Amino acid sequence: MSRKSRLSGGKAESLLAIDFGASCIKLCAGTIQERTLQVERLTEAPLPPDAIREGAILDPETVYKALRAALSHASVKTKRVYLSVGGSQTTARPIRLPRMTPQTLQKSIQFEATRYLPSAAEEHLIGFHILPSGNEEQMEVLLVAAPRSTTDPLMEVVERAGLEPQLLELQPFGALRTVQALYGATLPFAYALVDLGSEHTQITVARNATLVLTRFIPIASGTLSAALKGYFHYTDEEAEQVKRSLNLTDLLQAGQPQENPPLRLVQPILDELIREIRRSLNYYQSQYQMQGGRGQIERLYLYGGGAQMQGMSAYFEYKLGIPAQLVEPFSGDVIVPGQVHPEQLEAGASWVTVLGTALAPLEMAAPFAEPVEETEPATVQTAA
């Protein structure tokens, strides 16, 4: 879903990346030079409830004003912008098609995509990427689509703000790019990313350096806040403060937290979320086992605001039996913070997606991770 791309060789080039989320707009302003993203400013503009829902802009004027405020606060000078959007109506999945040339696929993708989309292909913005395949008769293609009811209003708001979109991508691709830039050759063959957002949790499975499954789960950080607020009659601020004070490792040490009612309240909610994640991982792994493919999930990478709860990675690792870690985007040498507030550095997991979108020009020049040729790759469907 790229409009155009360019990357200068030695000269630093300014760029802007924006992630449109359910509760806020995140903005990253910086420069790229060689294989480094120099982050000059991170800015967050909060949104009222239902301004954006499931990726779709419901209140364009409010979103426009928030975007203008963020641009002004960040003192943005460049007009070139890279965008990410999400929502459960978006699609990213590998499909198998009869082998054809890229030119033929470009002409036929609208027709081929019809069977995989929730509504007519004409109602979607569609992109694709041809994956390595050892099958001589069939090809494997990563189909990417977003409803025009989501993309068109977003592009209108962005262009109204005087910006020039270079790329529009789905949020999991930004996060995956950050993980691949950070961990590179140390990444296992198959792993999962878990985005603990405010509105939903999104699980993304990557296999052979390629996204192969995404699923939205309607249990998220906001679910925990709402439970605390409703049961204990907290204000919004009190619920968030209590949530941040909880340490999930207490659940692993003492079983039921008898002296911590808020922790006891959120435990079954987290356990239900983990059951849904396990269901998705089991589905993915069963598909590859049935087809004799390689793809055991070897690690979990957690990010998003909810992932920063104390002990979250340890709790996931204990419950799922898979090594888990919090994504820390400023821990490597690819993303270099400049005028970034210390609190933003500490909350780096909340900025994983927009930082990854900002890395897009670097990946266009040279991928951070590339799939290897397989004799007979298996295709995994989107989890139910």
DSSP letter string over 255-266? SS-TT-HHHHHH
| 330 within a domain of the structure (yes/no) | yes
> From its phi and psi, is residue 151 left (phi > 0), alpha (psi between -120 and 50) or beta?
alpha
pLDDT given at position 289:
66
pLDDT given at position 290:
58
In DSSP notation, 299-357 reads -EEEESGGGGSBTHHHHHHHHHSS-EEE--TTSSSSEEESS--HHHHHTGGGGHHHHHH
Its domain, for residue 157, covers 13-225+265-365
| 235 within a domain of the structure (yes/no) | no
For residue 22, give the nearest of 49, 45, 59 by alpha carbon.
49
Q: Which amino acid is at 197?
A: G
Q: How far apart are CA 178 and CA 172, in angstroms?
A: 10
| 155 within a domain of the structure (yes/no) | yes
pLDDT given at position 254:
61
pLDDT in tens, the chain (384 residues): 543 333 334 577 899 999 999 899 999 999 998 899 999 999 999 999 899 998 999 999 999 999 999 999 999 989 999 999 999 899 998 898 999 999 999 999 999 899 899 889 999 999 998 887 767 788 989 999 999 999 999 999 999 999 999 999 999 999 999 999 999 989 999 999 999 998 899 999 999 999 998 999 999 999 999 999 999 999 999 999 999 999 999 999 865 556 899 999 999 999 999 999 999 999 898 877 655 567 789 999 999 999 999 999 999 999 999 999 999 999 999 999 998 999 999 999 999 999 999 999 999 999 999 887 765 444 444 443
pLDDT given at position 366:
92
| 208 within a domain of the structure (yes/no) | yes
pLDDT given at position 293:
62
pLDDT given at position 375:
57
For residue 204, give the nearest of 233, 222, 234, 177 by alpha carbon.
177
| 17 within a domain of the structure (yes/no) | yes
Q: How far apart are CA 259 and CA 246, in angstroms?
A: 12
CATH number at residue 96: 3.30.420.380
| 5 within a domain of the structure (yes/no) | no
Q: How far apart are CA 210 and CA 379, in angstroms?
A: 11
Q: How far apart are CA 21 and CA 218, in angstroms?
A: 15
Q: How many domains does the chain have?
A: 1
- β-partners of residue 204 are 193, 214
| 342 within a domain of the structure (yes/no) | yes
3-class SS of residue 28: strand
Q: Which amino acid is at 66?
A: A
Q: Phi and psi of 177, rounded to 5°?
A: -65, -40
In DSSP notation, 132-160 reads P---SSEEEEEEEEEEHHHHHHHHHHHHH
User: Are residues 356 and 176 in contact, defined by beta-carbon separation less than 8 angstroms?
Assistant: yes
| 258 within a domain of the structure (yes/no) | no
**CA 154 from centroid of its chain's CA atoms:** 18
